[in-house]
Amino acid sequence: MAMQRHEINYQELKTDAELSADDQELLGKAKQALLKSYSPYSRFQVGAAARLSNGMIISGFNIENAAYPVCLCAEQTTIAAVRTQFPDTGIQAMAISVKSAHHLVDQPATPCGQCRQLLSEQERNNPTTIRLILQGETGPIWIFRSVNDLLPFSFTGEWL
C-alpha cells in the first residue's frame, strides 16, 4: 500500500503593513464587521469580508443562538449576502478576523469544517480561486491561495 502525501502551502506575514492596500482594506472591513457580531454566549466575535470581481466588498459576522446548532458563522452570512446581492459576481478574496472577550487571539483562526465546505463549493462555482486572508485580533496573517488549500478533499455534488 503506497502512502500518499498532501502539502499545504500558505504565506505568513508578520503585520498588515506587508499586505497590499487592497488586502489591508479587506482585512480592515472584516475587523469592522466582527464588532457587529452577536455572540453573547461564547463572546467569540468573527468578521468576514469578501472582495468581489466588481470591486465591491461585502461583509458579515457571526450570529449566535442559545440553541448552538442554529448559529451562523461569519463566512456563512458573508456568502449569503454576496449570493443574494450579487448572484453572478465572482469572489476574488475573503478576509476573516476573530476576537475573544476571554483572551487575546494572537494567531489566525481558520474557518470551521462546515464553512470550509461552503467556501469550497463557492470556489468551485467561481471563475477563479478564492484567496483567504486570516488574522486573529493581532499577530501574524496567513494567506491561502485557494480554499482547497484548507479542504483538499471536499465533498462535491458529483457524488450525488
Q: Which residues are catalytic?
A: 75
| Pairwise CA distance, residues 116 & 50, whole Å | 15
**DSSP notation for 52-121:** ETTS-EEEEE-B--SSGGG-B-HHHHHHHHHHHH-TT--EEEEEEEEEESSS---S--PPPHHHHHHHHH
The widest CA-to-CA distance across the chain, in whole angstroms, is: 51
| Pairwise CA distance, residues 93 & 66, whole Å | 31
Q: Are 95 and 30 in contact (CB under 8 A)?
A: yes
Q: Tell me whether residue 154 is exposed, middle or buried, using C-beta atoms within 10 angstroms of its C-beta: 0 to 12, 13 to 18, 19 or more.
A: middle
Closest by CA to 147, choosing from 58, 74, 75, 83, is 75
